[in-house]
Homo-oligomer: A and B are copies of this chain.
């Protein structure tokens, strides 16, 4: 690509969904008008070829989709509504066709359309090595609503918005079979979970609207790891009740150790997990039911000092791994 300007124009949105965008792509910086009574939520995440994605397991379009999804998930974990995103991409001089690069942006456009998020800026640079894609997402949340990791209290109920382990299981199949794993229809939801994860924004916003004290995290590095972040930030212990966990039928033919590796320590699920008082759990549970959204009670919070236990058949075992780490 010799003309960065033409390239940027070709991957930009023709117009913006939010009239709050005063200056979008094409000047030194973007300008937008914040909504009165709202605070701004901002997050940034980087994905590196060979570390976070490989062409052998994630198609180009899904790479773009996922790069935006992981950031939207962070906004979801704060209960925010995403509004804008910026994309900075380091493109290798070799190994990626213009068409594949365009597909990366198409993947982002597809997801951004679903959640009405506007691409308002970015940067395109070259690199001699791996493709690196960094997405910044800005959203909003009503002033004063904070779904922090540090909000958990002893006595709380632990919940999750969906089954964990899908992405890790999907990745395992992709590493075994490559992209032709998609030929097996029973694997579809797991491949989708790994390649094009759905950020739980609706659940996050519903939790924020509920208005009660809530601790919240998105499951990016494994359920045990996220529970540990909550436990440490809140100075309590979290007990995950194995028998309450929603576990995919297809997992059950595998050893318990395998199941645990996906469900407790598998990364990139992007479900939301958190804690709430037992009283608020009841109304939250009803609220989610009324919207047709799943919400599972999977454990409890006890006085403690930042530890996570797995409870099974009456025995509590300390979660021994810290989860899924790229770094």
Min CB distance A140 to B, Å, is 9
**Are A77 and B28 in contact (CB-based, < 8 A)?**
yes
Which of A33-52 touch B at CB < 8 Å? 33-34, 36, 39-48, 50-52
Tallying the copies of this chain within the complex gives: 2
Residue of B nearest to A84 (CB): B42
**Are A127 and B48 in contact (CB-based, < 8 A)?**
yes
- A146 close to chain B: CB less than 8 A: yes
Which residues of chain B are within 8 angstroms of A132 by Cβ–Cβ distance?
A: 46, 48, 90, 127, 132
Residue of B nearest to A216 (CB): B28
Min CB distance A313 to B, Å, is 32
Known A27-B78, A39-B22; contact A134-B32, beta-carbon cutoff 8 A: no
Known A44-B134, A126-B51; contact A327-B4, beta-carbon cutoff 8 A: yes
- A31 close to chain B: CB less than 8 A: yes
Min CB distance A129 to B, Å, is 3
- A62 close to chain B: CB less than 8 A: no
- A123 close to chain B: CB less than 8 A: yes
Provide the A285-327 mask, 1 if CB < 8 A to any CB of B, else 0.
Answer: 0000000000000000000000000000000000000000111
- A122 close to chain B: CB less than 8 A: yes
Which residues of chain B are within 8 angstroms of A75 by Cβ–Cβ distance?
A: 28-29
- A121 close to chain B: CB less than 8 A: yes
**Are A88 and B120 in contact (CB-based, < 8 A)?**
no
**Are A77 and B29 in contact (CB-based, < 8 A)?**
yes
- A181 close to chain B: CB less than 8 A: no
**Are A42 and B29 in contact (CB-based, < 8 A)?**
yes
Q: Which of B46, B74, B218 contacts A125 (CB 8 A)?
A: B46
